[in-house]
Each structure stands twice: as structure tokens, then as C-alpha cells.
Amino acid sequence: MFSTQPTQSCAEDMIMYLGIWGNLQGIIKCQMEETAHLDFGAELEPRREIIPFDKPTKGTTVQKFKEMVYSLFKAKLGDQGNLPELVGLILSVADGNKDGHVSLPEAKSAWALLQLNEFLLMVILQDKEHTPKLLGFCGDLYMMERVQYTSLYGISIPWIIEWFIPSGLRRSMDQWFTPSWPRKAKIAIGLLEFVEDIFHGPYGNFLMCDMSAKNLGYNDKYDLKMVDMRKIVPEMNVKQLIKDRHCESDLDCIFGTDCRTLCDQNRKKCTGDIIQPNLAKVCQLLKDYLLRGVPSEIREELEKQLYSCIALRVTAEQMEMEHSLILNSLKTLLWKKISHTTDS
């Protein structure tokens, strides 16, 4: 069941509706997504295309469909040994009516939606706490659980008014309209746990290429829930999209808003080495959020850990060890402070 008006139109490429799937309330998404084109000679920007429904064709066997899905995942995620397991998971999800068979319409819908980063991630991370549950799909629509609070912080202001508000004042206003500090700490811990979920998980590393607070939300228990995962992309895809792109400066070597590489000035080509890991970008986002209202007894230590986190680089020696140490230290510091409070 659909509402007659979209609840939000984030951009031309996505419309969301409030809806009901069975007896569950959720968000129905209908979107076109930027389709990756790896030839940067004539087209420097990915273009938006309507989700294709031309595959698989009539007469395609289940085995052939499995091979199609396997090839898609190999292109997106790399040649990993556990891809057959993921293909099996997809076939289970594709069987929408749970009759033990994947019909041609079900296969067409699943194939089209698997082109979308967000849909793929919801399937891969379906058992993870901070990923909204995929409730179902039909055609080019898919439905995810509704998240009660759909921004990490801030207040919604009509765009005509926001146009006249200085950016510094707007940032301050965002920080005024936040939960209490213990609740912010719990939300932040959830975000750190999500970083763990997508960092070298069972199907590779995913990069957060748009660290906007509006992509993050939380429920009434202050558990973090991702609201928009369209710009969380397999690392292999990001490198393919950026590497060897023509550049004049490092500013030409960006995917989304936050996935960056360097411009090789000798070749005038972007390198394929991502500069910042997800954790550093998350800490940058959380810095003002957590330091505002932080209890004085942990302020100095929290600030120190956040700045160490922000300085983390992918190219650092023993980066994975540093990543783990910094992430666990932050979680421990926050948990110790809020574990005995009722306001979290």
C-alpha cells in the first residue's frame, strides 16, 4: 500500500514512500542510481539510467541465472572464494513468495535491484544490527524498515529560509538539536560498529563515499540505523571508477564527496589508492557531535583519540592494526562512560 505523496524527494534519482508490507510499516524506495561507466575518455561522470528489466530472458535456467549473478559479484567484489555462498543467499532472497522456486519475474526484479549498491548491501548485511531490514521488493521497488529519526542531528528548515542562514550558524543549530550526550555516545558506538561491519567483511571492503549526517539515523532506543547507503560502494568499484581518470589536481580524483585519491602530476592521471579509510571519515563527522556536551573528565582523552582517528591514512604502515586499536579504544572509552547511565 502506498501513500499518495512521496515522503521525501531527495533528488531526481530517488523517491521514497511510506508503505505497508504485510503488517509492517516501512519505507518504499523507487530509484534510479548512478550507473558506473569505466571508460572515462568521453564521459567523466556516471550517468543515471533506469533500472534494466531485460535480464534474465525467457528460457534462462536457474543455473544460468546463478552464473549471471556470480559474474556480477565477481565484477563488483573481486574474485573471492565465498561468492558461491553469496549467490545462494541471493537466490533465497529472490524467491519472494517463498515457494521454493525463483520465477522469471522474481529473477528479473532481483537482477535489476542487484545493480544498486544499497540493495546489495542490505542483502549482504541483513543480519547486522545497524543495517535496515529489507522487508521485500517488487519490480523496481524495494522496501526497508522505517527508521524513526532520519538524520544524525539537526533540524529540518524550509530551503528558502535555509538559503539565508550563514553556514557557521547552521552548523551550530545542527548541534543544538541533538539527543543527550549519553545517547549521542550510544549512537556513535553504533556507527563505529557499522564501520567494522563493512571493513574487510566476508565479501570485501566497502567504502563510505558520502559521510553526510543525513545518511545516518537512529531508532527510539538510540541504536544507529543507516538511512541511505547508495554511496557505500565496494572498494574495487571505487578504484576502477577513479584510477586513470584525467586530472589536473587532487580535486579531480574524488568519487561521491568523500572517496579520494591523489593526482599523479607526471601522468595527469588519478591513482587508485584511496587516502582515507572509513574510520577517519566517521571520526571527522563525530568530532563536533561528541565533543559538544561531553563530560569534562573524559573530554581530553576523547579529543585525543578522535584526532588520532582522523589522522589515520590507508597508506600508513600496519594500518589495519592501527584501525582496530583506534576503533576499539573509542568504543571502550564511550561504553565505560555510559554503561551505568539510564540516559542511553
Q: Please list, in sequence order, all residues whose beta carbon lies within 8 angstroms of the beta carbon of residue 322, skipping any fewer than 6 positions away.
A: 312, 316
Q: Please list, in sequence order, all residues whose beta carbon lies within 8 angstroms of the beta carbon of residue 181, skipping any fewer than 6 positions away.
A: 290, 292, 293, 294, 295
Cα–Cα distances (Å) from 64 to 74, 101, 225, in that order, read 15, 14, 36
User: What predicted TM-score, i.e. pTM, was given to this entire model?
Assistant: 0.85
Q: Please list, in sequence order, all residues whose beta carbon lies within 8 angstroms of the beta carbon of residue 184, skipping any fewer than 6 positions away.
A: 178, 289, 290, 293
Residue 154, sorted as left (phi over 0), alpha (psi -120 to 50) or beta, turns out to be: left
Domain ranges of the chain: 33-145, 159-338
pLDDT for the residue numbered 7:
45
Q: How far apart are CA 109 and CA 96, in angstroms?
A: 10
Strand partners, 232: 208
Q: Measuring CA to CA, which residue among 30, 224, 1, 20 is closest to residue 132?
A: 224
What's the average model confidence in pLDDT over 250-262?
A: 95
CB-CB contact of 210 with 256 (8 Å)? yes
Mean of all residue pLDDT scores within the chain: 85
Place of cell 534462462: 60
Q: Measuring CA to CA, which residue among 250, 305, 316, 243 is closest to residue 277?
A: 316
Sign of the dihedral through C-alpha 230, 233, 237, 242: positive
CB-CB contact of 135 with 21 (8 Å)? yes
**How many residues would you count in the chain?**
344
Which H or E run contains 338? helix 319-338
162 — pLDDT class (breaks 50, 70, 90): low
What's the average model confidence in pLDDT over 128-134?
A: 94
Q: How far apart are CA 98 and CA 205, in angstroms?
A: 31
What's the average model confidence in pLDDT over 263-272?
A: 95
CATH 1.10.510 fits 159-338, yes or no: yes
Task: Answer yes or no: is pLDDT of 48 > 90.
Answer: no
CB-CB contact of 279 with 321 (8 Å)? no
8 — pLDDT class (breaks 50, 70, 90): very low
